[in-house]
Chains A and B, each alone.
Chain A
């Protein structure tokens, strides 16, 4: 199989090109560091050609883990052809890496991407001259608009057909890059940048930067909470109807098989989808919008001071944002942090940020026991508490791990871009929503079957009774604590398990829950509050733990990641139990 690798600086469109040519859906967005591992796919037009999307790197001597990964891949000559992707609007900087890669590789194509943006800024590039000066073929593309892809493919095939040969070598690639870019580019209109500069200054200004940040985050969380209730109720009613229909259609089945399939698998899976999908269908588009316009690095810029006071850095704010979607993804994204000490702290504390699997539990309990408005404030408060605790624990971890230096902070601030609404809706709603649904099916379905079996034996109730004293100590009860234990595979299972155990019949509760119904099952607002706090602060899910082990290679560090949030959760619940009436 022939391998073609996409390399280049971060945030130049490598993943966008990769997605366009393979049909896969690598995460893209307007900030450096989204691709932290090597993604592999095959060319749609020719499945004998393997495409590899490398993490972005600024030089072949990069300092962070993802940069070293990319540089090593190129140095080892693992690709038959390297496509170096450059940003057409800042060619001089991008050519530095391009010239280094050309000197290390035997077949190279230079792809100057983001030409739509370059043209928008009045930048014109002489493709032929650039090709002559670099000694490699050049293609101009605008991958986001699918322009130039055919020409790129043609050039890749042509280059693969040539025998491998040693390329040019430059004594001083930095100076050479600047000279080449000066000779090949022309700028016609410098005033086209004004709106970006103005908006940038507002977003990071002394007076308005932090208030805008706080308001934006609060608005996103509030809209997620408030907007999720109605579609969640609609989905539950729809699935309830499906439940009745399936029960009648499968009446001929043995009771245990019908129980496993309908009461176990169907009920658990649909409950997970009904509570998870609506908040994510609101959160992800809003988050992707911020990503797309380039706001996230500015968030890291604004938060670097408080984060560095805690021993971390501004990039940890980006990994926390990723953790809001999924903690496993948040842990992986910690590769963008250069300092090993800061990276470890970010990994160990990422689980304190409530992920999309925990949002539904927070939202349901918040709205049922405290009403939509107060509940919303409480949920936002839980997220804020998670962030504060993560910052405090970052301080603890970095103080403990003293033998490693803190790295200097240097981060690219990509240009503010106009949001691509179509891409945001497709990415966030279609791709991420489908990802959520498929993950729910893959985890919830077998879990539902197992839970039904457990619920129909004395085992579940015996376990709940066994955990009752500890549950009461923490302001909850044995059923809730058991649900936390059993939802280790995925946090999304927490509330369905609580309901399944509470009903005691191995089926999920019929219809929409109300506070009165939960009260009749022994719930109080104090129990709900402690449960909400423990939802934020308890052990990471199985996927996150595995990811932490993969990233750290250490059982001890993985155990620390398990213990840290749990210890915080236990302490806070004990405190709440002590002070609540």
Chain B
């Protein structure tokens, strides 16, 4: 499923980050790679920003900037 569909409290695994994605390098520096699990902590009041926890760090990103990244839900 697309990453922008992630909901607060949901744990997902990154399945694909397009090679030419504008956030690819930056996400890699945070350890975000295909196969890595992340947790959606919360969103901003309008749902435009999402706070994701990865490897003990929480990063905020715009939902619109995450377009193209695919994830799958982890139970």
Binding partners A and B: yes
Contacts of B46 in A (CB 8 A): 305
Cα distance, A308 to B62, chains bound together (Å): 10
**B33:A174 contact, CB within 8 angstroms:** yes
Residues of B within 8 A of A90 (CB): 55-57
Interface bits A92-116 vs B (CB < 8 Å: 1, else 0): 1100110000000000000000000
- Are B44's CB and A302's CB within 8 A? yes
Contact of B19 with A by CB under 8 A:
no
Looking across the interface, which residue of chain B has its beta carbon closest to that of A63? B26
Chain A residues with Cβ below 8 Å from B62 are: 304, 308, 408-409
Is A413 an interface residue when CB atoms closer than 8 A count as contact?
A: yes
A-side interface residues, number (CB < 8 Å): 42
Do B42 and A304 touch across chains, with their CB atoms under 8 A apart?
Answer: no
Q: Is the CB of A177 within 8 A of B26?
A: no
Do B33 and A175 have beta carbons less than 8 Å apart? yes
Tell me the B1-51 residues at the A interface (CB within 8 Å).
22-23, 25-31, 33, 41-42, 44-46, 48-49, 51
Nearest CB in chain A: distance from B51 CB, A: 6
Q: Known contacts A59-B29, A302-B44: does B57 contact A410 (CB below 8 Å)? A: no
Name which of A75-83, A151-159, A197-205 contacts chain B: A197-205
Whether A96 and B29, one on each chain, are in contact in the complex, defined by CB atoms closer than 8 angstroms, is yes
Interface residues of B, count at CB 8 A: 28
The answer to whether A97 touches B49, judged by C-beta atoms less than 8 angstroms apart, is no
- Known contacts being A304-B62, A410-B61, is A209 close to B26, with CB within 8 Å? no
B45 contacts across to A, CB distance below 8 A = 204-207, 209-210, 302, 305
Collect the chain A residues with CB atoms within 8 Å of residue B60's CB.
297, 300-301, 304, 314, 409-413
Contacts of B22 in A (CB 8 A): 408
Evaluate contact between B41 and A200: CB separation under 8 angstroms: yes
A61 within 8 A of B: yes
Task: State in angstroms the CA–CA spacing of A304 and B27 once bound together.
Answer: 19
Which listed residue, B26, B41, B49, touches A58 by the CB 8 Å rule? B26
Asked if A93 contacts B57 (CB within 8 A), the reply is yes
In the bound assembly, the distance between CA atoms of A268 and B46 in angstroms comes to 50
Q: Does A543 contact B (CB under 8 A)?
A: no
A305 & B33 in contact (Cβ 8 Å cutoff): no
Does B42 contact A59, Cβ atoms closer than 8 Å?
A: no
Q: Is A89 an interface residue (CB 8 A)?
A: yes
Kindly identify which residue among A89, A177, A210, A409 contacts B65, using a CB–CB cutoff of 8 Å: A409
Is there an interface contact between A204 and B28, defined as CB atoms closer than 8 Å?
Answer: no
- Contacting pair B56 A89 (CB below 8 A): yes
**Most B CB within 10 A of own CB, among A89, A91, A197, A204:** A204
Q: Which residues of chain A come closer than 8 Å to B56, judged between CB atoms? A: 89-93
A178 within 8 A of B: yes
Task: Report the bound CA distance from A415 to B57 in whole Å.
Answer: 8
Chain A 361-419 interface residues, beta-carbon cutoff 8 Å to B: 408-415
Which B45-75 residues have a C-beta within 8 angstroms of A?
45-46, 48-49, 51, 54-62, 65
B31, A178: Cβ atoms under 8 Å? yes
Q: What separation, in Å, do the CA atoms of A61 and B58 have in the docked complex? A: 20
A209 / chain B contacts, CB cutoff of 8 Å: 44-45
Residues in A neighbouring B31, C-beta threshold 8 A? 92-93, 96, 174, 177-178
With a cutoff of 8 Å between Cβ atoms, the chain A residues found around residue B55 in the complex are 90, 92-93, 178, 181
Q: List 6 A-B contacts (CB under 8 A).
A: A62-B29, A96-B30, A96-B31, A409-B49, A409-B62, A412-B58
Contact surface of B with A, Cβ cutoff 8 Å: 22-23, 25-31, 33, 41-42, 44-46, 48-49, 51, 54-62, 65
3 A-B pairs with least C-beta separation: A90-B56, A59-B29, A58-B29
Chain A interface residues toward B at CB < 8 A: 58-59, 61-63, 89-93, 96-97, 174-175, 177-178, 181, 197, 200-201, 204-207, 209-210, 297, 300-302, 304-305, 308, 314, 408-415
* Given A178-B31, A409-B61, 18 other A-B residues pairs in contact with their CB atoms under 8 A: A58-B30, A90-B55, A93-B31, A96-B31, A175-B33, A201-B41, A204-B45, A301-B44, A301-B60, A304-B49, A305-B44, A308-B48, A314-B60, A410-B27, A410-B65, A411-B60, A412-B59, A413-B59
